[in-house]
Amino acid sequence: MNKIVLIIKREYLTRVQKKSFLIMTILGPILMAALFIVPVILSQLSDEVKQVRILDETGWFLDRFENSDRYTFEHVFTDLETAKANISGNDIYALIYIPRPEVSVPSSAIIFSNSQVSIDLKSHIRNIMAKEVENQKLGAEIVKEIRKINPAFSEVKADSLEKTNLITDEILKNIKTNITLTSIQLGEAGSEAKSYTEVSMGVGMFAGILIYFFIFLFGAQVMRGVIEEKVSRIVEVIVSSVKPFQLMMGKIIGVALVGLTQFMLWIVLTLTIVTVFQTLMPNKITPAQATEVYQDNTSRIPSESNTAALQSTENEDTAMSRMIEALQSIDFTTMILSFLFYFIGGYLLYGAMFAAIGAAVDNETDTQQFMLPITVPLILAIVMAQFVINNPDGPVSFWFSMIPFTSPVIMMVRIPFGVPMWQVGLSMLILTASFVAAVWLAGRIYRTGILMYGKKVSWGEMWKWLFYKG
Amino acid sequence: MWAATFFYYTILSCPMSFFSARNITKNYAAHKALDNVSIEIPPQSIFGLLGPNGAGKTTLIRIINQIIAPDTGELFFQNNKLGAEHIYQIGYLPEERGLYKKMKVGEQALYLAQLKGVSKSDALKKLKYWFEKFDIKPWWNKKVEELSKGMQQKVQFIVTIIHEPKLLIFDEPFSGFDPINVNLLKDEILALRRNGSTIIFSTHNMASVEELCDNIALINNSKKILDGRVSDIRNEHKTNTFSIGYNDFKNDIRTVLPADFTLKSQHNRDELQFAEIQLPSHATANHLLKILMPHVSVHTLNEIIPTMNEIFINTVNQKLSTSKLNNYE
C-alpha cells in the first residue's frame, strides 16, 4: 500500500511541475468562457418551423413579430387562461404573454410552453420587444428635445424633421431597455414550473464538454506515461519492486489527482477573475452578460443599439439578478457531486483502456489502430449531447446515459434539467461495474504488454494476454 | 538405487542451496519458454546463467523476480518458499533497463530506493556514499537525459544494490560500460560476494563468466542442457589435448607420432614450433613426451583446457545437430 502511495506521489508531482500544466491552468478559464457560447450555437441547429402564439395585452407589438423560416407567429385575443389551455392540444410550441405594465412601458414577458423553450426563440423575442420599446422611447425623447427648442411643435410633423441631429449618446443610453423573459413550463398535471432553459443548457453542455475534455486529456496522459516507461525501459526495474497492477493503478490515480487539481484551480481562477473584474470594473461584462451579448449578436436582426445596450450599467442589476435567480434553480451540490462521480468513473473506465493500449504498443505512433475504438464512443457522446440537450428526457437521452461509455458526458448534460433519481442511480451502478471490469481487464493486458518489446500487437494477441497466468 | 536416493535427498533438503528453482515450466500461447528447468545456487557464490538469445533466460529471471509466475514448479529462497516478502531481498538489473529521462538523477534514485523499501533518510545516506564512490555526485540534480550512457548505467547499478539485497541478479551488467568501468564494476560485484551476497549473472561474455562465476547453468531451447561448477565443467570438457613448444626438429612432427595421436594444429612463434596434439584416451602427457623427446628439445607443454566460449558453442551446436537428427528420423 505504501508503494502505491509512492507511485501516486511521483506521477502527481512530475506532472504538476510541468510547464504544460501551468499553461493549461491559465488557458482553462478562458476555455470555460468560450464554452458558454456553445449551447447558443447548438440551439440554432434545429430546422423545424415552430408555431408561437402571442397574447399581447399592451398592443404595442401587434405587427412586430414577423414569420420566419423558424417560427410562425399568431396573435390571440382571449384571456390568459383560455390561451394557456389551448396550447397543449394544438401543437403550439410556446405562448408569449406580454402583460400590460402598471405604470411604464412594457419590459417583460412570460413564455408558456410544454417543453423548454430554445434560447434562440427567447433572444428573438427579446430583440423584437426591445427594439420596439426603444423605438417608442426614442420617439418620445426626440419630441421632448424638439419641444425644448420649439414648444409649439406638434408631434405629427416629427417625421419630416431630421431626427439624427438630435440623438445624443445620452438619449441612446436612456432609452436602453432590458426585456425580462420568464419561461414557465406547463406540466402534464397542469402544474407550472419556472424553468430556465438557457442556464440549464449552458451548465449541462459545459459540464458534458468538460468531462469529455478531462477524460481525453488525462486518459491520454495515462497512455503516454505507460509508453514513456516502456520506451525508457524503466518498467522492468519497477515491476521487480512493485506489482504491475500497483504501477498501473498508481499512475491512473496520480493522473486523476492531477486532473482534479487542475479542475479546482480552474474554478478558483475563474471565480477570482470574475470577482476581480466585477470589483475593479463594475461596468464591464460579466460572464453572464457575455452570454447575452453573444446571443444578441447571433440573432437574425442585427442592431447596433442592441449590442451597445447590453454594456450599459443600467441593466446590469436586472441582468445579474435574473441570472442568479436562474442559477439558483439548478442544484449545484448535485451538479458538483455528480460531476466528480462521473469524472472519476468515466476517467477510470477510459484511463484503464488507455493504460492497456499504452502497454501494448512500443511507441505513440502505433497507438492509432487501438485508439479508434476507444475514441469513437466518446466522440459519439459529445455529438449526441446536442440532441440530448434539446430533449433531455427522451429515449435517446435515457439510453446514452445508461451506456457506460457515453454516460459520463450524457448524464452531465441531462442533470441540470433534472433526472429521476433511479436513472442516476442505475447509470452510476452500471458505470461503477464497468470501470471495475475495465480496470481488471486492463491490468491483465498491462502486465503482459509492458514486458513485450519490438512486437506488433494485434487485438487477437491482446485477447490472449487476458488469459495468461500471473 | 543408492545413488538415486542420495540424489533426491540432496535435492529435497538441500541445505547448501541459497536459492533454488525446481522443475520450472512456463508456456506462452505459441511456445514453451521454459521446460522443466531446475537450478541450485549455493550461498555467497556467483551463478552464471548462460544461453543463446531466446533460450528462456529472461523468462527464468523474471520468474525469480516474481514479475511473472511459472505454470508449474517451485522456487525457494533460503529454503523458504519464494514470496512477496522476498522482493526486498532481491536486486535486479534487467537487460532492458533505463530510467525516467525527464526526472532528476537524485530524485529518481531516491524514488527507486524507496520502492525497494528503504526509508528516505536511509536511502539518502547510502546514495550519497555510492554517488561519491562512482564519481557521479555532481550529477545529482541533472536530468537523466543529460547523462552519458555509462553514467546512466552507474546510476542503474547503484539503485540495484542500494537496498543491500541478499540476492542480486545482473542481466548483461557490462553493456554500455567502457573497459575501465567494466573493471570497476567487476570489482564491485566481487566485493558484493565477499560481503555475503549471492549473485546470478547472465551474460554472453564468456570471458567474464570464467573470471567471475563459480557455477553456471546453460539453457538452450527452453531446456537446461548443462550445469555445474565452472572448473568441473571445463575439466569434463577436456579432450586430452596438449600444446607442445619445441625446436631443433627438421622433419614433420607427424612422422614420429603414432597413428592414434592426432595433430590438431601447428604454428611457429619466436624460434619455437608449436603443435596441438590430441591424445587417445589411454595416453597421458608423459607418453607424448616419451615419444617426442628423442627427436626434439621440448620447451613448453600445456594441457589445453577448453574455454567456456568453446564449451558454450560446442554444447549448443551439439544439441542443435542432435535435435535436427531427431527431426530427420
How close, in Å, is residue A319 to chain B by CA atoms? 50
How close, in Å, is residue B315 to chain A by CA atoms? 29
- B132 vs B293, which has greater pLDDT? B132
Given a cut of 60, whether residue B41 has pLDDT beyond it is yes
Residue among A10, A240, A242 minimizing CB distance to B92: A240
Closest residue in B to A9 (Cα) is B111
Q: Are B115 and A242 an interchain contact pair (Cβ–Cβ within 8 Å)?
A: yes
**Confidence at residue A251, expressed as pLDDT on a 0 to 100 scale:** 94
B-chain residues near A238 (CB < 8 A): 112, 115
Question: Among candidates A374, A29, A349, A42, which has minimal Cα distance to A204?
Answer: A42
Domain boundaries B17-235, CATH class:
alpha beta
**Confidence at residue A111, expressed as pLDDT on a 0 to 100 scale:** 84
A-chain residues near B112 (CB < 8 A): 237-238, 241
- B170 vs B208: CA distance, rounded Å: 13
Share of chain A above pLDDT 70, in %: 74
**Confidence at residue A152, expressed as pLDDT on a 0 to 100 scale:** 65
Residue among A236, A244, A447 minimizing CB distance to B94: A236
Q: Name the least confident of A153-167, A223-237, B135-149, B228-242.
A: A153-167
Given a cut of 80, whether residue B268 has pLDDT beyond it is yes
Question: Residue A265 gets which letter from DSSP?
Answer: H
The predicted model gives A393-420 an average pLDDT of: 88
How does residue B76 score in pLDDT terms, banded at 50, 70 and 90?
A: very high
The predicted model gives A119-139 an average pLDDT of: 81
How does residue A50 score in pLDDT terms, banded at 50, 70 and 90?
A: confident
Residues of chain B with CATH 3.30.70.3100: 239-303
A-chain residues near B98 (CB < 8 A): 232-234, 237
A-chain residues near B67 (CB < 8 A): 236, 239-240, 244, 451
Closest residue in A to B68 (Cα) is A470
B-chain residues near A452 (CB < 8 A): none
Angstrom distances, CA of residue A290 to CA of A170, A266, A286, A316:
23, 19, 6, 11
A442: part of which helix (H) or strand (E)? helix A421-449
Reported as a single tens digit per residue, the pLDDT across B146-181 is 988 888 889 999 999 999 999 999 998 888 788 888
Reported as a single tens digit per residue, the pLDDT across B117-130 is 899 999 999 999 99
Residues on A contacting B at a C-beta cutoff of 8 Å: 3, 6-7, 10, 14, 228-229, 232-234, 236-242, 244, 447, 451, 453, 464, 468-470
A-chain residues near B101 (CB < 8 A): 228, 232
How does residue A388 score in pLDDT terms, banded at 50, 70 and 90?
A: confident
The predicted model gives B209-234 an average pLDDT of: 89
Residue among B28, B71, B94 minimizing CB distance to A237: B94
Residue among B29, B111, B116 minimizing CB distance to A464: B29
Residues of chain B with CATH 3.40.50.300: 17-235
How close, in Å, is residue B291 to chain A by CA atoms? 60
A-chain residues near B92 (CB < 8 A): 236-237, 240
**Confidence at residue A318, expressed as pLDDT on a 0 to 100 scale:** 45
Closest residue in A to B120 (Cα) is A6
Given a cut of 90, whether residue B254 has pLDDT beyond it is no
According to CATH, what is the number of the domain B239-303?
A: 3.30.70.3100
Torsion of CA B302, B303, B304, B306, to 10 degrees: -140
Extract the C-alpha cell encoding A418: 433534472
Does B100 lie at the interface with A, CB-CB under 8 angstroms? yes
The domains of chain A, with CATH numbers, are 2-38+200-280+329-465 (no CATH), 45-199 (3.40.190.10)
Q: Are A241 and B101 an interchain contact pair (Cβ–Cβ within 8 Å)?
A: no
- B34 vs B320, which has greater pLDDT? B34
**Confidence at residue A306, expressed as pLDDT on a 0 to 100 scale:** 40
Q: What is the pTM of this model?
A: 0.70
- B276 vs B266: CA distance, rounded Å: 6
Complex-level ipTM: 0.79
A-chain residues near B29 (CB < 8 A): 464, 468
Does B97 lie at the interface with A, CB-CB under 8 angstroms? yes
Q: Which residue type, as a one-letter code, is found at position A446?
A: Y
Looking at mean pLDDT, say which of A45-54, A192-201, A404-413 comes out highest: A404-413
Helix %, strand %, coil % of chain A (to 5): 65, 5, 25
Q: Are B97 and A237 an interchain contact pair (Cβ–Cβ within 8 Å)?
A: yes
β-pair type (B32-41, B80-81): unpaired
**Confidence at residue B39, expressed as pLDDT on a 0 to 100 scale:** 92
Residue among A3, A228, A453 minimizing CB distance to B96: A453
- Which pairs with CB-CB distance under 8 Å and at least 24 residues apart come from A395-398? A398/A423
The predicted model gives A442-461 an average pLDDT of: 83
**Confidence at residue A48, expressed as pLDDT on a 0 to 100 scale:** 66
- A26 vs A30: CA distance, rounded Å: 7
How does residue A283 score in pLDDT terms, banded at 50, 70 and 90?
A: very low
Q: Name the least confident of A338-342, B1-5, B96-100, B156-160.
A: B1-5
Reported as a single tens digit per residue, the pLDDT across A59-78 is 888 778 888 777 888 888 88
Given a cut of 80, whether residue B222 has pLDDT beyond it is yes
**Confidence at residue A469, expressed as pLDDT on a 0 to 100 scale:** 65
Given a cut of 80, whether residue A88 has pLDDT beyond it is no
**Confidence at residue A278, expressed as pLDDT on a 0 to 100 scale:** 56
Given a cut of 90, whether residue A87 has pLDDT beyond it is no
Q: Which phi and psi angles does A75 have, rounded to 5°?
A: -85, 140
Q: How many CB atoms lie within 10 A of CB B31?
A: 10
**Confidence at residue A11, expressed as pLDDT on a 0 to 100 scale:** 93
How close, in Å, is residue A262 to chain B by CA atoms? 21
Torsion of CA A408, A414, A415, A417, to 10 degrees: 170
What residues pair up with B37 in beta bridges, in sequence order? B24
Q: Are B100 and A233 an interchain contact pair (Cβ–Cβ within 8 Å)?
A: no
How does residue A324 score in pLDDT terms, banded at 50, 70 and 90?
A: low
Does B94 lie at the interface with A, CB-CB under 8 angstroms? yes
Q: Are A451 and B112 an interchain contact pair (Cβ–Cβ within 8 Å)?
A: no
The predicted model gives B28-57 an average pLDDT of: 88
Closest residue in B to A3 (Cα) is B115
How close, in Å, is residue B102 to chain A by CA atoms? 9
**Confidence at residue A468, expressed as pLDDT on a 0 to 100 scale:** 74
Q: Are B69 and A453 an interchain contact pair (Cβ–Cβ within 8 Å)?
A: no
Does B167 lie at the interface with A, CB-CB under 8 angstroms? no
How close, in Å, is residue B272 to chain A by CA atoms? 53
Interface test with A, best of B68, B86, B108, B157 (most A CBs within 10 A): B68
Helix (H, G, I), strand (E, B) or coil at A161: coil
The predicted model gives B61-77 an average pLDDT of: 90
Residue among B65, B92, B101 minimizing CB distance to A232: B101
The predicted model gives A343-353 an average pLDDT of: 92
Q: In whole numbers, what is the pLDDT of chain A averaged over residues?
A: 77
What residues pair up with B47 in beta bridges, in sequence order? B200, B215
Q: Which phi and psi angles does B231 have, rounded to 5°?
A: -65, -40
Q: Are B87 and A234 an interchain contact pair (Cβ–Cβ within 8 Å)?
A: no
How does residue B294 score in pLDDT terms, banded at 50, 70 and 90?
A: confident
Angstrom distances, CA of residue A36 to CA of A42, A317, A447, B202, B236:
11, 20, 43, 62, 83
**Confidence at residue B27, expressed as pLDDT on a 0 to 100 scale:** 86
Given a cut of 60, whether residue A334 has pLDDT beyond it is yes
A-chain residues near B99 (CB < 8 A): 232, 234, 237
How close, in Å, is residue B297 to chain A by CA atoms? 60
- Cβ atoms of A347 and A434 within 8 Å: the answer is no
**Confidence at residue B120, expressed as pLDDT on a 0 to 100 scale:** 92
Interface test with A, best of B96, B119, B202 (most A CBs within 10 A): B96
